[in-house]
């Protein structure tokens, strides 16, 4: 449990500094980044997520929308589903979500409904972010639960992965458009 001074106290009477927690957060975000790379390699939008409880990963996920032909197969949803199965409960009250990109409204809503303690994300999503960029569903006063939020963890690495993916996709789209134009002009001859 965290106290106001920002330290974690363990029953054994040991006190660990915030610096130690920050390194743990970074390690978990690096695992989410590894999963995001896996998604990108599968031609999915490169977003990865892990859920932790008591310093251990209990759920992992990466975007699989195209593979599963399922609009809800976002990294966060898959990680929540896996964590719920691993813990035998849909209430993830002592769990934390680490995700490479700010959650969309669907995923933020799932985080609230799962009662996640904390959501830590890498880069913001100005167009669809529901953790403060467009709307903040994670801390909306009218809802039955609010998550603590930390933003910007390894933000540049997370954003760079997304930028590279979409730049490569645009280049591929431009190449296929050019090939289509050539095919059409050849057919007209």
Active-site positions? Answer: 76
CA distances from residue 65 to 76, 143, 176, 180 in whole angstroms, order as listed: 12, 28, 22, 26
- Taking only Cα atoms into account, the Rg of the chain, rounded to an integer number of angstroms, comes to 19
Which pair of tokens denotes residue 178? 């050019």
Distances in Å between the Cα of 148 and the Cα atoms of 112, 115, 136, 145 are 10, 11, 11, 10
In the structure encoding, which two tokens stand for residue 145, read together?
A: 């639960």
Query: Which residues, 6+ apart, have CB-to-CB distance to 122 below 8 Å?
Result: 29, 32, 33, 99, 100, 101, 152, 153, 154, 155, 157, 158, 159
């Amino acid at each position: 449990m965290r106290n106001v001074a920002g330290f974690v106290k363990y029953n054994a009477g040991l006190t660990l500094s915030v610096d130690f927690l920050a390194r743990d957060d970074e390690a978990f975000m690096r695992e989410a980044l590894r999963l995001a790379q896996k998604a990108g390699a599968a031609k999915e939008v490169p977003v990865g997520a892990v859920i932790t409880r008591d310093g251990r990963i209990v759920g992992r996920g990466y975007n699989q929308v195209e593979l599963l032909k399922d609009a809800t197969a976002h990294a966060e949803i898959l990680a929540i589903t896996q964590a719920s199965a691993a813990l035998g409960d849909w209430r993830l009250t002592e769990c934390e979500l680490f995700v490479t990109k700010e959650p969309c409204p669907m995923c933020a809503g799932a985080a609230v409904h799962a009662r996640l303690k904390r959501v830590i994300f890498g880069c913001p999503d100005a167009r669809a972010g529901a953790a403060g960029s467009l709307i903040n569903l994670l801390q909306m006063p009218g809802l039955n639960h609010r998550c603590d939020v930390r933003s910007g963890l390894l933000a540049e690495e997370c954003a760079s992965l997304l930028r590279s993916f979409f730049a490569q996709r645009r280049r591929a789209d431009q190449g296929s458009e050019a090939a289509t134009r050539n095919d059409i002009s050849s057919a007209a001859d």
